[in-house]
Chain A
Amino acid sequence: MSMYTLLVNNNHYEVDVEPDTPLLWVLRDHIKLKGTKYGCGIAMCGACTVHIDGEAARSCSLPVSSLARKRITTIEGLSPDGDHPVQQAWVEEDVAQCGYCQGGQIMSAASFLKTNPMPSVDEIRMAMSGNICRCASYNRIEKAVVLAAQKLKQQ
């Protein structure tokens, strides 16, 4: 075991874990932030998506040892009151069904819109294709990303 200091949602956390422990499990089991989900563990479903220095990454495949001095943001820290334009758009479009994948979807969308603030529908569909939604809320995710882009523009 080794000690690591992580900067998550602007808070410092000290954790004592094996170096190969993925960030996903450090967040869930050690820091007790449960919003980041486990879906596959092999970077294929996107349920575990977080931001590392503002960019979307699959936390299930990031060993804790690679995160020194990185700024980690989870769904809990995306906005102070759940009012990030992407979160607002998700509520307005009533996207969630079972809801399990949606934290990851929102994190992917938020990061994508930073790099491409005015995406075409095809760009959205490609960008979001790394996130599986077994409830198949894809049509609404697409609409919500369009709506979030409009909201961001107005800000």
Chain B
Amino acid sequence: MKKKIDRRGFLKVSALSAGGMLIGFNLFSSCKNSAKLPDDISKLNYKDFNAYIQIAPSGAVTIYAPNPEIGQGVKTSLPMLIAEELCVSWDSVLVKQANLDEAYYRQMSVGSTSILMGWLPLREVGATARQMLVNAAAQQAGVAPSKCTIKEGIITCDGNISIGIGEVVEEAAKLEIPTDVKLKDAKDFTIIGRNIKNVDANNIVTGKPLFGLDYEYDGKKIACMMRAPFGYKLKSFDATEALALQGVVDAFSFMQNSIAVVAEDTFTAMKAIKLIKPVWEATKRAADSEKENVKIKSLLQDSKYDLIQSTGNVDKAFASAEATIEQVYETPYLPHSCMEPMNFFAHVTDDWIKLAGPIQTPQNALNRVANALKRDKKDITLELTRIGGGFGRRLFGNYAPEAAIISHKSKYPIQLVYSREEDMMGGIYRPAISYKVSGAIKSNQVSAYKLRQVGSTSLKGRFANRFPTGAIPNVRLESIRNKSSITTGAWRAPISNVYAFAEQCFLDEVAFKLKKDPIAFHLELIEKAKKSDNEHLVYEPERMEGVIKLLAKKANWGNQSEGVYQGFSQYFSHETYAAEVAEVELRNGIPVITRVICAIDCGLVVNPLGAKNQVVGGIIDGIGHAMYSDFCIKDGRPTVTNFDRYRLIRMNETPQVECHFVQSNLAPSGLGEPSLPPAGAAVANAIFAATGVRITKQPFIKNKEVFG
């Protein structure tokens, strides 16, 4: 894995006035020529650079990264890449969430891509800095750089002179930036591949104020809000009672259909918002999820659709089939239920705007605030806090302009806090989606596969040419969008989270019909994909086969003990291959999920401990929502608004999850999402094995035949 680098200008180096060396860089682009590094560590500017490395004369390394941490561990795994190439010991590295005092460029942790995008650039930064330190030490010792080695922050010149990196930082900062540095060989990694714990663990277990809701600001007031039900308009409202409450300082409507109250403290604001008496007026688009379901059912049979993929001749294959199988799968809208409800701080003055809070798309939030208030972006600053769970919700920063408008109207610095009820009622939900999947059978083989998606979002082109394309000669993907006034957006592993449920339950049913073992059936399909001459396949059948074989072995597939029923599922997303076996046992005739075994191929695993946490979390998340989470919207409002009636999986319902990684030196791919999609199907298939009942509708718990 040696690579020549010539990315002139993607980092800059300077000496700090207080001693030490500062390296500033741009993770996803190069620095502007005019960009100047600050010489004071308290004045890091994130407009020109999006991350920094500081090396102190003591040899201590501090990495300042503004990547918002949402629980994916990127704050740990990305700095590991730098430290590896820098050849320092992990114990000497401190990672700091950058405090932003200026607007800055793109920085998101989204779609499991952080690690994939940072893999080479971050290592290059580390390697470049390392080379500069080595060059400086070589100069000091009067030997050629090639005669020097570096390990754990100590440079050894000519085999006998030892120089700590801290001793040469001043000199190194003056050297030219090398453009031709070597990356380490994977076999020489000492940090990548090691189990490294969450860098914030101590702060978390001692309750330090890290999160958005913990943000403090002099003179801060609290705002709570309510919005019109989906498809309704605000006609009028009466705030008399709310305003009469001691501690309430303002109440008004804003953004046409929302109402805010501003109060001295959170409890007063939450109490006050409940005292507002709004009059809502229904429009033609008044939302009702039951009625939408009826519409979705009819669209599943409609003759018009958007074509996403067409391979071979599906209609012909169906016409000549000996048998066909068809099944419909249904999934509801779902809120994200981040444990930290949405919140944001804004202080809007005539001269500047200060924003702070938990968000994954700061640049977008900044633009929206600038637009909403017709202000210059230059006057806006945004500070990121730790994020109490994202799952896709915090990509959609509608709460930032809401906070800014409330501050602007009330003239106070305010923190907008959604109550749990507001968080659940005003969501950007996972879209409700149904699938119709059909298969044509000829000579005990699947000759054609047809999948139609109907829901409030469209099936995207990137779903084309995935498995089972290549394995089945005729494949067609169709999509119909059912418009709704219910707001939807990304939800952990968007679309895949339900698409995989439909695909993998269906293939299990086909295997059963063909009297084939589900894993053997998959391997047989993959064998065909390996031989396929379809050039458009977006997955590698060999890697898919690899995870399934590893899984079959680890799960002891086919040899389960008495009373244990297994279900299989596998899925490819975010460049990662995941295969899972769920085990259920019957207790009083009711299936209980006891164990899940997962095999995963995500390329090289940077931090196995963090990776495992992600994978296990994704599986339990997938199972929890497939099993329990029921969500309906009636008269524009969810029928459940808090955790008393909206059910999330709890500890006593959680299976033990085992996770096994395929050994690989390929560039790492996503982990935050790919383990989730196959989980629901693995459980549904295990329940079938145990009870003979095919569950095709989420949440599973509502299936009377199985759960009574």
Contact = CB atoms under 8 A, between A and B. Distances in A.
B86 interface: no
Interface string A3-29: 000000000000001100110010011
Contacts of B653: 129
Contacts of A21: 267
A45 B387 contact: no
A128 B652 CA distance: 8
Contacts of B205: 75, 82, 87, 90-91, 96, 102-103, 106
A141 B654 CA distance: 11
- Give the interface centre of A39, A91, A97 by most chain B CB atoms within 10 Å: A97
B246 interface: yes
B216 interface: yes
Contacts of A106: 205
B657 A40 contact: no
Nearest to B264: A29
A116 to B, nearest CB: 15
Nearest to A64: B267
Contacts of B642: 40-42, 44
A73 B642 CA distance: 27
Contacts of B656: 139
B652 A99 contact: no
A55 B601 CA distance: 45
A134 interface: yes
A51 B147 CA distance: 61
Contacts of B618: 136
B588 interface: no
Interface stretch (B195-203, B295-303, B517-525, B698-706): B195-203
A42 B644 contact: yes
Contacts of A30: 265
Contacts of B294: none
A39 to B, nearest CB: 5
Nearest to B417: A38
Interface in A102-135: 102-103, 106, 124-126, 128-135
Contact of B651 (A91, A103, A128): A128
Interface in B184-228: 197-198, 200-202, 204-211, 213-214, 216, 222
Given A37-B339, A75-B206, A98-B339, A29 B617 contact: no
Contacts of A22: 267
A136 B268 CA distance: 32
B650 to A, nearest CB: 4
B389 interface: yes
B643 A42 contact: yes
B420 A97 contact: no
Contact of B213 (A38, A45, A91, A135): A38
Contacts of A72: none
Interface residues of A, number: 58
A41 B339 contact: no
A44 B420 CA distance: 11
Contact of A44 (B616, B619, B643): B643
Contacts of A25: 265-267
A45 to B, nearest CB: 5
B99 interface: no
B419 A41 contact: yes
A131 B181 CA distance: 50
Nearest to B617: A136
B651 A35 contact: no
B388 A99 contact: yes
B643 A136 contact: no
Interface string B216-251: 100000100000000000000000000000100000
Contacts of B246: 1, 18
B580 to A, nearest CB: 15
Contacts of A140: 613, 616
A72 B360 CA distance: 36
A39 B214 contact: no
A70 interface: no
B651 A134 contact: no
B389 A98 contact: yes
A37 B657 CA distance: 28
7 tightest A-B CB contacts, nearest first: A35-B207, A98-B71, A100-B388, A75-B207, A136-B620, A99-B204, A34-B209
Interface of A: 1, 17-18, 21-22, 25, 28-30, 32-42, 44-45, 47, 74-76, 82, 87, 90-91, 94, 96-103, 106, 124-126, 128-142
7 contacts: A1-B246, A34-B211, A39-B340, A96-B204, A99-B200, A128-B651, A136-B624
Interface of B: 69-71, 73, 197-198, 200-202, 204-211, 213-214, 216, 222, 246, 265-268, 270, 337-341, 386-391, 419-420, 609-610, 613-614, 616-621, 624, 642-644, 648-654, 656-657
Given A94-B609, A99-B386, A132-B643, 20 more contacts: A22-B267, A29-B266, A37-B213, A42-B420, A44-B644, A45-B339, A82-B206, A94-B613, A97-B198, A97-B613, A100-B339, A100-B389, A129-B651, A129-B652, A132-B339, A133-B651, A136-B621, A138-B649, A139-B654, A142-B651
